[in-house]
Structure 1
Amino acid sequence: MPPKTTVPPDPPAASMLEFSQFSKLLAMLYEGPLEDIPWSRSLEAIRTCLHANYVTLILRSPASGRNGLMIHASAQGTVLPGEASYHNYYFALDPFVNLPTDRIITVDELVGDSHWRSSEMYKQFHQPFDVGYMMGADLRTEDGVECRLRICRSHQGANFSDAEKAACGALLPHLKRAVRLHSSFDIANSERKLYVNAFDRMLVGTVMLDESGSVMQTNPLADEIFAANDGMRRRGSALELKYQTEDRKFQKLVRQALAERASNASSVVHAVAVSRPSGKPRLGVLIRSIPLSEWPEDTLRRPACAIFVRDPSRKSLASHELVGKLFGFTPAESSLALALTNGLTLEEAGEELGISKNTARAHLRAIYSKTGVTRQATLVGSILNSAFSLG
């Protein structure tokens, strides 16, 4: 008897998708978190492949007092006319929720075709938008991220076949991983924005250089300082100081920081003071290398050196209200305290605020009493070292 031949299993969803199609869909799913509208390309590809009229990925489910976050693929684009009404009302009537985790299921399998088509949700929302058939899945990642995939087909079509359900089911594990990546990116981006905003509020200009010493990124304050061309400027992808002696020292410190990065040495903070032709107080500049991550890719376009620039002549952006809440100042006392913090003398602050010397002194006595200090320099230091600059 000849040996029994073992037939290798078909590729995932081979009965529905060619291997090349499946491969392209996977690529789009994993690239989805990097798109301006996440997963817009892959959702449109799924819609086309399944002859659907709508494909929706719900990243945040709507609830009372909170809109959901949905990404759509349809003939109308990524925003649907019925989305607002779903957020505001119909989400509470939707029977196609709380699906079995990580498994494709159709609406008729979940609640029964007759029950669904007799529901108010179908009559008032699905039918007017030509949703004749629907399948979907609820995904939950290991770190607690939840999302929903919904695929709809017109009344003119047919219900989703087992092969189509199997094709979507084969995509689910990859979509789940891509959603988890997106969540990680989103958290990191939120943290980055928080820190960037804190630096902006502290009046610190920031510059990121790559491994060749070229400027990769600057914040708005750094751009303003460089545009003023008062001691320091940006020229193309390089930074330059006005005076040659200071510039040579600055360039040497940048090269030193980049060398520390390349050798994976401990990061050392280098400092240089920058003279200004205008006669204003010198800019303070700190330079430090950015340590490599544990598993870095081989690319020059990676932040390698950070430069922090502080202009002591710039006035604080902190609000009077915030200073008042932190120290218990009245509005008048807050105004005076901020004026002193910005470098004015008591007499100059009184003139700027339009108050007499006696009134300014009375406010200052009250400020001293509330902060527990007796000297103006100590008061300024106490305010600058408090949390007010982060607001």
Structure 2
Amino acid sequence: MFSAAETLEKIYEAAFFPQNWYQILDHMAEATNAQGTSLVSTSSPTTHWLASEALEDMTQKMIEEGWVTRNARAEKLLSIEQFGFVDEAEHFSEADYNAIPIFTDMMQPLGYGFGTSTFISTPSGDRIIVAVEKKKVTGPVEKSAIAYLDQLRPHLARAAMMSSRLEFERINAAVEALQLTGLPSAVLTFDGRVMLANTLLEGFAPQIGIVARDRLRFAHVPANDVLANAINQLQSGALHLKSASRSFPLPRYEDAPPAIVHLVPVLGDARDVFVRAAFFLVVTPVDRTRVPTAETIGGLFDLSPAEARVARSLAAGNDVGGTASTLSLSAETVRSHVKAILAKSGMSRQTDFVAAVASIRPIA
């Protein structure tokens, strides 16, 4: 158990060292005779969730059974005008506890009763729910426990604000760094809106544009479908943020060159609770007149010299027949090398590999 001074010190440390939030969550539970504490971002609770280890049974059930997307309990709590922690038993009756599905099908089987919670609004426009959870056998939330948590709440809110601002600045710096490397880029939120974009992306119109409600739109319609699918899967919980990376091609459009769009998840464990960013979107223009050397390609993908020569020929725009003619090989040999190249690169289609290689910028 931390002393009062140590508790405040830990809270403000967590703004700079986000992994320290777990200690704060555990302390809040221990100090109030509760099972554990959770901290949930309402922008995307399927992936933005911190919780005491003692709440693993609840968090696992919430995510696996999809309760985060049909959480009547959270909806009610967010509607309460509050200036501190609220006793949930004052807003849900025993009849509610025995009728509302999230109580009857999720919390009751695990032995949880009513807890106490509050929400904090962050500069990114999100609201973070802080919920202290109790097992029903330990009895109701005590008034003294709520009073103690209310003493901590202003400090929790300030630390959350600081975390949110620091994370926003970190992401903004990353977008500006990509500007220096010549790469058009943006940051997308969990609902697909553009949170930040550098000027290079704006110059990629009409191939890529930012339209109404800060939505990103590609002139190449299939690319919109890929992006929408990634966002939808992430929101539904079918895709975890840490495995959400993907790349897809954009063909030449008017004066805009062909390009590869890379979706890179914004990761950082606890830090990500405090910012709405989901993806970095980075656009790599394809210049087939500057394809890397066979040695570079071979080193990147662990290819044999013969495989690397075939890979470079394909990336330069030759098809199987043209590659066979250029390298004095049979078409069957080229196809055999292509199979080996795909196996080593982990890609399933020749076009994906070619696009990836063509997007690599050779060192001048």
TM-score by length of 2: 0.49
Larger helix proportion of the pair: 2
TM-score by length of 1: 0.46
Determine which structure has greater relative contact order: mean sequence separation of CA pairs < 8 Å that are 6+ residues apart, divided by chain length.
2
